[in-house]
């Protein structure tokens, strides 16, 4: 049998859509005693919304230690309704959960009404999943008065409890932007709050187990069920500080890094509410390491255009590491001839071109960039002069300049960069030329703290902000997330932090709030 990618892709899309399925799981299989558990214990999720469609996700998992899920596809029924009681069903259908994709289900429901909330659930035999709540966006040309987004990243399981997600449920959000480090590949941390089962995460099975560990957390599961998510990944979904097809520097070295990356990407797909079109070569590409097309844009009416980027899959390797070291280091650019090399890329040529075209046609309102990491330069004082971290945008200065030039060239409306990765809150301005504080301010940046992952603390934070004056605020202690509320005239960003990430019952509070008026890219205290 040949692997024709287009045929394979069509099949996958058919599976993702409603199909007149015939392969029912024998009823007797799920007619085991109820104590055997529920195949929906990983919960439900929705994501990648447009004004008329949404991806509904679940993954079947064999209850307990039973082997009920074999190699055959399992037909899963789904319903999406206007009401929580499922009295007014909008659509229903069937989808196949394939063993090749860990019995995950990605239903792409189309033909929905714009700017509406819906409820959805899945069924296999007599088992019914939890009910999820999701929404479509307003039509691209429709007026929209309000959008409330949370941005979040970096949820190292052994560093704390997922209490932030529990509090996020109360934020009345339209969508969550998850910006990377959904899992970490480590066995455990020093002074771990809790120790994850298994060792280093290296194989497809390991990655699947690590995602399942996270999805078993009730707070995270509940937040996935609360509203649609738009997701990208960073390094730890594969390995610390990896770059493109070059491995990073954590744990045992693996002979075939691209194969490890392919396994990690597959597990990410299996656990995220993303479209089947992310798999550019469908099932045939899953094992062979084909591109995963995560970058995308979606308008929320006339109010905002949300652009999601992928700065890991296509990047060049970090430069000027000490000899033989993979991954990242702090580098003095004066001692690194390749530092500003214009040939080096963070997004890859194709994504850069796509982004430039997206900016050219971005339209009015707010232009929101969901990307992985801190955008503005962040110098660290060192004995031999200022050093910069070569894994973030600082290590790809020419690529950063190309992005700011593209923003200027297309006069992009109200750019708002959201990020993660650094486990600290950083708030500031996007500058035409960061070396000249008097250069034009193009937009604003809110780089978010981690949900749980540790950071250095605030000892030198005032000095660090002062040394990088395009930033107006930083905090290296609070763990949590940010909420941005957009209206046509202004945005308000609220940094929410938990009291104690090592306690499940921890409270949350507001660290700071900021306001930015439309048409005036200046961060003001709220
Ligand atoms: Fe992280
Ligand atoms: Ca990271």
Instruction: Specify the pLDDT at position 56.
Output: 98
Distance 372 CA to ligand 1 centre (A): 10
Rounded CA separation 480/464 (Å): 21
Rounded CA separation 127/177 (Å): 30
Distance 425 CA to ligand 2 centre (A): 14
Question: In this structure, which ligand is nearest to the CA of 157?
Answer: 1
> 3-class DSSP state for residue 206?
helix
Instruction: Specify the pLDDT at position 33.
Output: 37
Instruction: Specify the pLDDT at position 189.
Output: 83
Rounded CA separation 174/228 (Å): 7
> 3-class DSSP state for residue 456?
coil
Distance 162 CA to ligand 1 centre (A): 14
DSSP 213-264: HHHT-HHHHHHHTTS-EEE---STTTSTT-BTTB--SSSS--S-HHHHHHHH
Distance 53 CA to ligand 2 centre (A): 30
Question: In this structure, which ligand is nearest to the CA of 182?
Answer: 1
Rounded CA separation 469/473 (Å): 9
Residue 47 CA, chain-centre distance (Å), reads 11
Distance 406 CA to ligand 2 centre (A): 25
Distance 91 CA to ligand 1 centre (A): 38
Distance 339 CA to ligand 2 centre (A): 21
Distance 165 CA to ligand 1 centre (A): 16
Q: Find out whether 427 and 471 touch, Cβ atoms under 8 Å.
A: yes
Q: Find out whether 294 and 370 touch, Cβ atoms under 8 Å.
A: no
Distance 94 CA to ligand 1 centre (A): 37
Distance 450 CA to ligand 1 centre (A): 7
Instruction: Specify the pLDDT at position 153.
Output: 98
Instruction: Specify the pLDDT at position 126.
Output: 87
> The tokens of 207 are what?
């990655």
Q: Find out whether 521 and 414 touch, Cβ atoms under 8 Å.
A: yes
What does pTM read for this prediction? 0.94
Q: Which residue in this structure is represented by tokens 């971290």? A: 389
pLDDT per residue rounded down to tens, the chain (526 residues) = 344 555 566 666 655 553 333 333 444 444 433 435 689 999 999 999 999 999 999 999 987 655 568 888 999 999 999 999 999 999 999 999 999 999 999 999 999 999 999 999 999 988 999 999 999 999 999 999 999 999 999 999 999 999 999 999 999 999 999 999 999 999 988 899 999 999 999 999 999 999 999 999 999 999 999 999 999 999 999 999 999 999 999 999 899 999 999 999 999 999 999 999 999 999 999 988 899 999 999 999 999 999 999 999 999 999 999 988 999 999 999 999 999 999 999 999 999 999 999 999 999 999 999 999 999 999 998 887 899 999 999 999 999 999 999 999 999 999 999 999 999 999 999 999 999 999 999 999 999 999 999 999 999 999 999 999 999 999 999 999 999 999 999 999 999 999 999 999 999 999 999 999 999 999 999 9
Instruction: Specify the pLDDT at position 67.
Output: 55
Distance 452 CA to ligand 2 centre (A): 13
Instruction: Specify the pLDDT at position 68.
Output: 64
Distance 328 CA to ligand 2 centre (A): 11
Instruction: Specify the pLDDT at position 15.
Output: 59
Instruction: Give the chain's domains with CATH numbers.
Output: 1-136 (2.60.40.380), 139-181+206-227+294-525 (3.60.21.70)
Q: Which helix (H) or strand (E) holds 78?
A: strand 74-81
Question: In this structure, which ligand is nearest to the CA of 183?
Answer: 1
- Strand 54-59 to 44-47 pairing: antiparallel
> The tokens of 258 are what?
């691209």
First to last CA, the chain: 63
Question: In this structure, which ligand is nearest to the CA of 155?
Answer: 1
Question: In this structure, which ligand is nearest to the CA of 242?
Answer: 2
Q: Longest Cα pair distance anywhere in the chain, in angstroms?
A: 72
Instruction: Specify the pLDDT at position 22.
Output: 35
Distance 423 CA to ligand 1 centre (A): 6
Q: Find out whether 480 and 496 touch, Cβ atoms under 8 Å.
A: yes
Instruction: Specify the pLDDT at position 288.
Output: 86
CB-based neighbours (< 5 A) of ligand 2, an ion:
181, 234-235, 421
Q: Find out whether 327 and 395 touch, Cβ atoms under 8 Å.
A: no
Distance 422 CA to ligand 1 centre (A): 6
Rounded CA separation 395/28 (Å): 57
Distance 224 CA to ligand 1 centre (A): 20
Rounded CA separation 392/376 (Å): 10
């Amino acid at each position: 049998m040949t692997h024709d990618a287009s045929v394979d892709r069509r099949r996958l899309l058919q599976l993702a859509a409603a199909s007149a399925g015939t392969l029912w799981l024998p009823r007797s299989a799920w007619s085991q005693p109820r104590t055997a558990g529920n195949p929906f214990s990983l919960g439900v999720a929705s994501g990648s919304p447009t004004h008329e469609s949404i991806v509904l996700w679940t993954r079947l998992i064999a209850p307990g230690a039973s082997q009920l899920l074999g190699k055959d596809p399992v037909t899963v029924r789904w319903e999406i309704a206007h009401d929580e009681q499922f009295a007014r069903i909008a659509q229903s259908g069937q989808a196949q959960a394939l063993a090749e994709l860990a019995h995950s289900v990605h239903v792409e429901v189309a033909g929905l009404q714009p700017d509406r909330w819906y409820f959805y659930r899945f069924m296999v035999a007599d088992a019914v999943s939890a009910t999820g709540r999701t929404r479509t966006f307003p039509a691209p040309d429709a007026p929209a008065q309000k959008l409330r987004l949370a941005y979040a990243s970096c949820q190292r399981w052994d560093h704390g409890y997922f209490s932030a997600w529990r509090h996020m449920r109360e934020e009345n959000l339209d969508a969550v932007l998850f910006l990377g480090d959904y899992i970490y590949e480590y066995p455990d941390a020093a002074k771990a709050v809790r120790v994850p089962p298994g060792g280093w995460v290296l194989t497809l099975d390991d990655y699947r187990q690590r995602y399942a560990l996270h999805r078993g957390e009730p707070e995270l599961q509940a937040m996935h069920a609360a509203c649609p998510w738009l997701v990208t990944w960073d390094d730890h979904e594969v390995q610390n500080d990896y770059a493109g097809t070059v491995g990073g520097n954590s744990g045992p070295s693996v002979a075939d890094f691209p194969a490890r990356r392919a396994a990690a990407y597959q597990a990410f797909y299996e656990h995220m509410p993303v479209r089947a079109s992310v798999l550019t070569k469908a099932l045939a590409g899953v094992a062979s390491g084909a591109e995963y097309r995560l970058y995308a844009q979606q308008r929320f009416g006339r109010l905002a255009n949300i652009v999601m980027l992928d700065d890991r899959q296509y990047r060049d390797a970090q430069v000027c590491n000490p000899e033989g070291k993979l991954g990242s280091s702090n580098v003095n650019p004066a001692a690194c001839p390749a530092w500003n090399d214009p040939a080096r890329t963070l997004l890859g040529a194709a994504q850069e071109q796509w982004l430039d075209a997206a900016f050219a046609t971005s339209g009015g309102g707010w232009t929101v960039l969901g990307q992985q990491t801190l955008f503005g330069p962040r110098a660290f004082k060192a004995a031999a002069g200022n050093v910069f971290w070569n894994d973030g945008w600082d290590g790809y200065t020419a690529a950063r300049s190309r992005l700011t030039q593209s923003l200027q060239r297309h006069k992009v409306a109200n750019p708002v960069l959201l990020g993660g990765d650094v486990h600290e809150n950083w708030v500031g301005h996007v500058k035409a030329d960061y070396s000249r504080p008097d250069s034009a301010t193009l937009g604003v940046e809110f780089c978010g703290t981690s949900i749980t992952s540790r950071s250095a603390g605030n000892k030198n934070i005032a000095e660090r902000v002062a040394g990088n004056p395009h930033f107006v605020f930083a905090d290296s202690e609070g763990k949590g997330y940010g909420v941005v509320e957009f209206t046509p005239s202004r945005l308000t960003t609220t940094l929410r932090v938990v009291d104690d990430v090592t306690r499940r019952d921890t409270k949350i509070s507001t660290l700071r709030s900021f306001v930015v008026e439309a048409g005036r890219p200046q961060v003001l205290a709220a």
